[in-house]
């Protein structure tokens, strides 16, 4: 178990305000209002190797060395953002989180103009730009939701140049030497495909797997110390079985099941409900009726995956499907079968 309870010291040249965070900073004559860091007083439990790998990416070993910007992959609810936040906390850096979406624009990522008092324009720095200025760590959450135009605005930041240009504010912002960044991505169908020139900058790839039983029990106990007994054991057993069957049920799903079950039990103190009955109800309400039979659900999903991809013959690995030399290709229509339907043309009476 890895514990981290950070402080948030100011690390940038910008003047600190009450509360430990700079409120505004002037760059090239333009005043930027800065974002606030995310507090983190939690723990990273288990899987210490991936935390060590992320910290290695952010390490600088020489004055000419630069930190890496890794991709952190995993199913939803597995703890990708928590991992990156815990890493920033261990480095005693302020941590900023930007939630990427399908409609994120370049100005959303950098500097956004806002109508202020008396019709003036105020410029607000994004969490990313604030982290660049103050020397913090930024987590671009669910980066594979963003479009290429938004990614293109970050290209100079993610290589040796380490700067961004805000067209809206007309300024160039250079990253503080202590600035660090990581991008989290869910292992599912992305809204947009990330271009190769961006993927080459987001290296290496770090994967978070499902926790082992002891770690999963510790995670649930840490977040839900009021949940105990049979309800807790049933939930951990359920999650471990789901992991073994390669179903994407995460610790977050387990927390939701426990929260609902505990609340239902608290409703009926005078007429206690059976814990196993309440737990089954919680699973059904949180994950759907199919989740009550994990084996059947796993088999159904495997069948669906198998039906999406047509089987390939040996020839398909070496030749195009329409190549006449491909032994697995469909037979071309012959002179006796002009329609290609496998049936010979019947002679007409006047032939």
Q: Over the stretch 33-50, which tens digit does the pLDDT of each residue have?
A: 999 999 887 889 999 999
Q: For residues 80 and 171, state if they share a domain.
A: yes
Q: For residues 178 and 262, state if they share a domain.
A: no
| Paired sense of beta strands 95-99 and 171-174, if any | unpaired
Q: For residues 267 and 138, state if they share a domain.
A: no
Supply the CATH number for residue 98's domain. 3.40.50.300
Question: Look-up: residue for tokens 């002679």?
Answer: 347
What does the pLDDT read at residue 43? 85
149 pLDDT higher than 70: yes
Q: Which domain holds residue 19?
A: 2-207
User: Domain count of the chain?
Assistant: 2
Q: For residues 107 and 11, state if they share a domain.
A: yes
What does the pLDDT read at residue 192? 80
Would you call 269 exposed, middle or buried from its count of C-beta atoms within 10 A (0-12, 13-18, 19+)? exposed
Q: Higher model confidence: residue 333 or residue 145?
A: 145
Query: Measured between alpha carbons, how far is 345 from 232 in angstroms, rounded to an integer?
Result: 70
Q: Which of 186, 207, 228 finishes a domain?
A: 207
Q: Which of 174, 191, 207 finishes a domain?
A: 207
Q: Which of 191, 207, 223 finishes a domain?
A: 207
Q: Give the up-direction half-sphere exposure of residue 150: CA atoms within 13 A in the CB hemisphere.
A: 24
Is 182:69 a contact under the CB 8 Å cutoff?
yes
Both tokens assigned to 129: 């730009």
What does the pLDDT read at residue 187? 81
Q: Over the stretch 9-33, which tens digit does the pLDDT of each residue have?
A: 333 334 344 344 458 999 999 999 9
Q: In terms of Cα–Cα distance, which of 265, 92, 263, 52 is closest to 180? A: 92
Q: Higher model confidence: residue 192 or residue 58?
A: 58
Q: For residues 181 and 231, state if they share a domain.
A: no
Q: Over the stretch 155-194, which tens digit does the pLDDT of each residue have?
A: 999 999 999 999 999 999 999 999 999 999 988 766 788 8
Q: Say what the pTM is.
A: 0.78
Considering the domain boundaries, does residue 324 fall inside one? no
Q: For residues 183 and 226, state if they share a domain.
A: no
Q: For residues 261 and 148, state if they share a domain.
A: no
């Amino acid at each position: 178990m890895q514990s981290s309870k950070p402080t948030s010291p100011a690390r940038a040249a910008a003047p600190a305000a009450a509360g430990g965070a700079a409120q505004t900073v002037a760059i090239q004559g333009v005043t930027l209002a800065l974002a606030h860091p995310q507090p983190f007083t939690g723990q990273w439990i288990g899987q210490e190797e991936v935390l060590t790998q992320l910290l290695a990416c952010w390490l600088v070993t020489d004055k000419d060395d630069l930190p890496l910007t890794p991709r952190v992959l995993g199913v939803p609810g597995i703890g990708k953002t928590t991992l990156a936040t815990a890493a920033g906390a261990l480095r005693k850096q302020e941590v900023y989180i930007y939630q990427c979406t399908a409609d994120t624009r370049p100005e959303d990522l950098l500097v956004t103009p806002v109508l202020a008092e008396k019709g003036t324009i105020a410029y607000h720095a994004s969490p990313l730009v604030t982290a660049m200025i103050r020397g913090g760590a930024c987590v671009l959450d669910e980066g594979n939701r963003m479009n290429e135009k938004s990614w293109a605005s970050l290209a100079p930041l993610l290589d040796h140049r380490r700067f961004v240009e805000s067209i809206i504010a007309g300024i160039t912002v250079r990253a503080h030497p202590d600035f660090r960044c990581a991008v989290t991505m869910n292992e599912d169908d992305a809204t947009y495909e990330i271009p190769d020139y961006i993927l080459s900058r987001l290296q290496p790839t770090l994967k978070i797997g499902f926790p082992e039983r002891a770690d999963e029990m510790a995670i649930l106990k840490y977040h839900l110390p009021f949940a105990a007994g049979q309800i807790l054991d049933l939930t951990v057993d359920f999650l471990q079985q789901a992991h073994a069957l390669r179903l994407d049920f995460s610790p977050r799903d387990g927390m939701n099941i426990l929260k609902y079950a505990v609340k239902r039990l608290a409703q009926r103190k005078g007429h206690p409900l059976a814990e196993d009955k309440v737990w089954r109800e919680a699973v059904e309400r949180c994950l759907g009726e199919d989740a009550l039979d994990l084996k059947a659900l796993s088999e159904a999903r495997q069948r669906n995956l198998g039906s999406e991809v047509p089987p390939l013959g040996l020839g398909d690995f070496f030749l195009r499907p329409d190549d006449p030399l491909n032994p697995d290709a469909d037979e071309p229509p012959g002179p006796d079968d002009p329609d290609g339907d496998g049936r010979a043309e019947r002679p007409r009476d006047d032939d």
